[in-house]
Structure 1
Amino acid sequence: MPGLTTYPPFPEDIPTCPLIVVDYQLVRAGNEEEINKLWKAATELGFWYLRNHGVEEIDDMFEMGHETMALPLDEKLKFDEKGASFGYKVPGVMILDDNGTRDVTEYINVSKDDALAWPAVVHRTYPSTVNEHQENV
């Protein structure tokens, strides 16, 4: 669905759960309160946000995503791998339920084999915006 500018509201009948924010620097420093917070998140919720983790490389991943999604549609479509889960996908390509509801997500999926073998190409090629960031992500 090229041109999609709005998203459906989150369903009200689906329960949500607030995630605990854990400060990794405090955990490493031995802060008992933060350690207990991490334990609770890990044993009760199973998920948590981790801040001050020192993994700034994620910034490069987000930059790669923004640059890639900002490419003109005709450029992104060159990397559409019909019938495969990898490559570029336009919104609406995935059917979500038995009613035929389609997704609203545009994405590019990079094969793990291609990412690990970079700069060698194992399965497919990707936009230059992906290749420019591969070494750092």
Structure 2
Amino acid sequence: MTLPIISLEKLVAGDGTEIDRLRQVTHEIGFFYLSDHGIPVDLQAEMFAVAKEFFALPQEAKEEIAFTDNPHYRGYSRLGEELTQGRTDWREQIDYGADRPAWTEGLTEYPWRVLEGPNPWPSALPRMRPLINDWQERLSDVGLELLRAWAVSLGQAPDYFDDIFDHPHPMMKLAHYPAPANGEAGQGVGAHHDAGVLTLLLPEEGSGGLQVQRDGEWFDVEALPDLFIVNIGELLEAATDGYLVSTPHRVLPSPPGTARFSIPFFLTPNLDARFPRIPLAPELAAEARGLGRDMAGQEISDISGLNTLKSRLRAHPETTARYHSELAATLGA
């Protein structure tokens, strides 16, 4: 599948044609390439370099920041540790979020606050921390500019969503998909929707494996130089009553002798925030598909933190069992 290319520069400049294309593309497909995003190529290369340096470390050094030792769902996940749709994903990864102190109040009333906390950093790579923090800041800015363009495309003021991003909860991964030693892994990552607002994915140029589902069929998405792949998350689909579409996607296992590296970034608002519904013009509302369910069959919540928390509880059973088993039982995750 050849995805459309949308220019962030044109969106920010208020180009009406490009803003209309953004709405139409994400109504029909939910995926596109983003150009003119302002993220330096040198920084992109440095991010992949530090990712490869980390994944090449001895296992003991990687386990220093083990995901299973972190109640906030941060750190390194070994191969096969994460699940999608109850099946093992064949990748290793580091998960990071906003690097903040953990919440100590309101955890009963707002259980999703367990997701906020400090990031664990590998002592072997001191340069990782400033790189990750810079990346998250830059990608947050890109994501918010996109969200403002979506607001305009749907007939709202550009700042329609701004209030719920005064204390956002950005998330990101450094992901490595090695080829399975026995060639028997069923999935790099299983079919899923993303739980947040939108995803900015930077795959290493030339890497394969990403597939997008459309009309019941799976299509390959090529990794092109200096282009991010953007897709709609469940919160934005819910906010438009299904007018904008969160499209299922997956990653196939890497073929023998190859490896895939990618850096996904997930724009997510304040954990406590209710993502506002967008009043659609009649002609757009007539094309809205209605609010569906996530791929686990559960209702999509408009509370950002609840939607994100359920996804984390399901995807990481070891960490959930160690720290949040009662919470998972209460939420039915």
Q: TM-score, normalised by structure 1?
A: 0.59
**Which residue does 1:7 correspond to in 2?**
none
Structure 1: runs of 5+ lacking an equivalent = 1-16
**Which residue does 1:53 correspond to in 2?**
37
1:53-132 map, 5 Å: 53-56=37-40, 59=44, 60-82=46-68, 84=70, 85-98=73-86, 101-112=87-98, 114=99, 123-127=118-122, 128=125, 129-132=127-130
**Which residue does 1:8 correspond to in 2?**
none
C-alpha distance in structure 1 between counterparts of 2:16 and 2:67, whole Å: 49
C-alpha distance in structure 2 between counterparts of 1:81 and 1:39, whole Å: 37
Amino acid at match of 2:90: V
Once the 2 structures are TM-superposed, how far is the Cα of residue 78 of structure 1 from its aligned partner? 1.3
How has the CA–CA distance of structure 1 residues 37 and 78 changed in structure 2, closer, same or farther, with 3 Å as cutoff? same
State the Cα deviation string for residues 81-118 of structure 1 (Å, max 9, x = none).
Answer: 326421111111124445xx421011011242x2x57x
Runs of 4+, deviation exceeding 4 Å: none
Retained in 2: the 8 A contact 1:80–1:88? yes
How has the CA–CA distance of structure 1 residues 93 and 135 changed in structure 2, closer, same or farther, with 3 Å as cutoff? closer
**Which residue does 1:20 correspond to in 2?**
4
Residue 134 of structure 2 is aligned to residue 136 of structure 1: yes
Retained in 1: the 8 A contact 2:76–2:94? yes
Amino acid at match of 1:87: G
Retained in 1: the 8 A contact 2:74–2:120? no
How has the CA–CA distance of structure 1 residues 68 and 132 changed in structure 2, closer, same or farther, with 3 Å as cutoff? farther
Retained in 1: the 8 A contact 2:78–2:93? yes
How has the CA–CA distance of structure 1 residues 45 and 132 changed in structure 2, closer, same or farther, with 3 Å as cutoff? same
How has the CA–CA distance of structure 1 residues 90 and 40 changed in structure 2, closer, same or farther, with 3 Å as cutoff? same
Retained in 2: the 8 A contact 1:23–1:51? yes
C-alpha distance in structure 2 between counterparts of 1:56 and 1:77, whole Å: 31
C-alpha distance in structure 2 between counterparts of 1:107 and 1:44, whole Å: 31
Retained in 2: the 8 A contact 1:22–1:38? yes
- Percent identity between matched residues is 23
Structure 2: runs of 5+ lacking an equivalent = 102-116, 136-333
Amino acid at match of 2:60: D
C-alpha distance in structure 2 between counterparts of 1:90 and 1:55, whole Å: 29
Once the 2 structures are TM-superposed, how far is the Cα of residue 35 of structure 1 from its aligned partner? 4.5
Q: How many residues matched?
A: 112
Amino acid at match of 2:134: N
How has the CA–CA distance of structure 1 residues 21 and 110 changed in structure 2, closer, same or farther, with 3 Å as cutoff? same
How has the CA–CA distance of structure 1 residues 83 and 126 changed in structure 2, closer, same or farther, with 3 Å as cutoff? closer
* Matched position secondary structure for 2:120: coil
**Which residue does 2:224 correspond to in 1?**
none
C-alpha distance in structure 2 between counterparts of 1:39 and 1:95, whole Å: 32
C-alpha distance in structure 2 between counterparts of 1:31 and 1:124, whole Å: 40
- Bigger fraction of residues in strand: 2
C-alpha distance in structure 1 between counterparts of 2:130 and 2:61, whole Å: 16
Retained in 2: the 8 A contact 1:20–1:37? no
Q: TM-score, normalised by structure 2?
A: 0.28
